[in-house]
Structure 1
Amino acid sequence: MGRSPCCEKAHTNKGAWTKEEDDRLVAYIRAHGEGCWRSLPKAAGLLRCGKSCRLRWINYLRPDLKRGNFTDDEDELIIKLHGLLGNKWSLIAARLPGRTDNEIKNYWNTHIRRKLLSRGVDPVTHRPIAGADASSDAAPTTVPRRSTTTPFAIGFVDKEDKSSSGWDEEPSPSSWQLPECPDLNLELSIGPPSQAPEQKKSSRQENSSICLNT
């Protein structure tokens, strides 16, 4: 079941308030207080909705309203409270005497959001926007180049590399990097030395010559 309307809206005035309506509303509230907003329009002689009377009084007619522009202190307080409370404008307005929740909300959307964005701050999370202060002139980090001219000189810097890299002394032996060697087959066998083909051929000629002489 829906909520019943605050008052009968069939025969109520809409649109801008006149000065006569404002005077009637102010005079009634000064004499009787705010009271119940449902019955206030009829008691004050106004053809207005109770909600319209309440908003008119709170946002425009009550005497403690602060007129004029927001100060810098109010700006910083609104930013701080918004970071804690979010978009709870009524709670924020309760901590700014003379300011209404609707006024603060409109001021936030039209001014403070732009101020935070100009500072590089996200108006929703109140944190720095990623990449807003990133420096594009940062020099890339480089690693000194080592000489790889011979496999046995790994870990040392030749004269050209030493002058270009700016090293003043050679690295310590603990930083040497030895080349990877393939696995060696260490299974050895003992046997007579094998003769080369030329040696075998010469020995055969010598034996044949001995046999002919004999």
Structure 2
Amino acid sequence: MGRSPCCEKAHTNKGAWTKEEDQRLIDHIRIHGEGCWRSLPKAAGLFRCGKSCRLRWINYLRPDLKRGNFTEEEDEIIIKLHSLLGNKWSLIAGRLPGRTDNEIKNYWNTHIKRKLISRGIDPQTHRPLNEKTTTTTTAAFHRQNHPVKL
């Protein structure tokens, strides 16, 4: 069953967007707003699927997107929110206006993880890295001296 495909795959463009396609999408959304993404491509005269249009708009073309490098302040906000929320990228993005969840996730995986490791902090637990070995050693000691009876 499931949902019917959003587009006829045979008649859709794939790959890089052209400037003309970008402009058609921008113009259509300016006039009609962000309506139904499934019907937008045909209405805008684009040979793309609705998902492609939605992602292009959200991640690249929205006028309120913040471009450029992340600031130190943004880094610290991401680290703090990640320690509270984990990998809830859309919730974290909600606290950083102009940044997308995908951009923040990619930035986390390519930059912030390394930054935390270089500070001696585990990027998953946000605890000191040497704390892991202490806990593991202590657990092994207790298992050795207090075996579990089955």
Q: How does 1:6-155 map to 2 (within 5 A)?
A: 6-130=6-130
Looking at secondary structure, tell me which structure has more helix per residue: 2
| Aligned structure 1 segments of 4 or more residues deviating by more than 3 angstroms | 1-4
The Cα shift of 1:9 comes to: 2.2
The letter for the 1-side match of 2:43 is A
The letter for the 1-side match of 2:48 is R
The letter for the 1-side match of 2:70 is F
SS of alignment partner, residue 7 of structure 2: coil
SS of alignment partner, residue 10 of structure 2: coil
The letter for the 1-side match of 2:116 is L
The Cα shift of 1:94 comes to: 1.1
User: Unpaired segments of 5 or more residues in structure 2?
Assistant: 135-150
Deviation per CA, 1:66-100, whole angstroms, max 9, x where unpaired? 01100000000000111111111111111110001
The TM-score with structure 2 as length reference comes to: 0.84
Structure number with greater CO (CA < 8 Å, separation at least 6) is 2
The Cα shift of 1:102 comes to: 0.9
Q: How far apart in 1 are the matches of 2:18 and 2:24?
A: 10
User: Unpaired segments of 5 or more residues in structure 1?
Assistant: 135-214
The Cα shift of 1:115 comes to: 0.4
Q: How far apart in 2 are the matches of 1:7 and 1:19?
A: 22
What RMSD over aligned residues (CA atoms) do the two structures have, in Å? Answer: 1.5
SS of alignment partner, residue 46 of structure 2: coil
Structure 1 residue aligned with 2:137: none
The Cα shift of 1:54 comes to: 0.4
Q: How far apart in 2 are the matches of 1:110 and 1:72?
A: 15
Work out the number of aligned pairs and report it.
Answer: 133
The Cα shift of 1:131 comes to: 5.7
Structure 2 residue aligned with 1:190: none
Q: How far apart in 1 are the matches of 2:57 and 2:78?
A: 23
The TM-score with structure 1 as length reference comes to: 0.60
Q: How does 1:176-187 map to 2 (within 5 A)?
A: none
The letter for the 2-side match of 1:129 is L
Q: How far apart in 1 are the matches of 2:125 and 2:95?
A: 21
Q: How far apart in 2 are the matches of 1:32 and 1:131?
A: 55
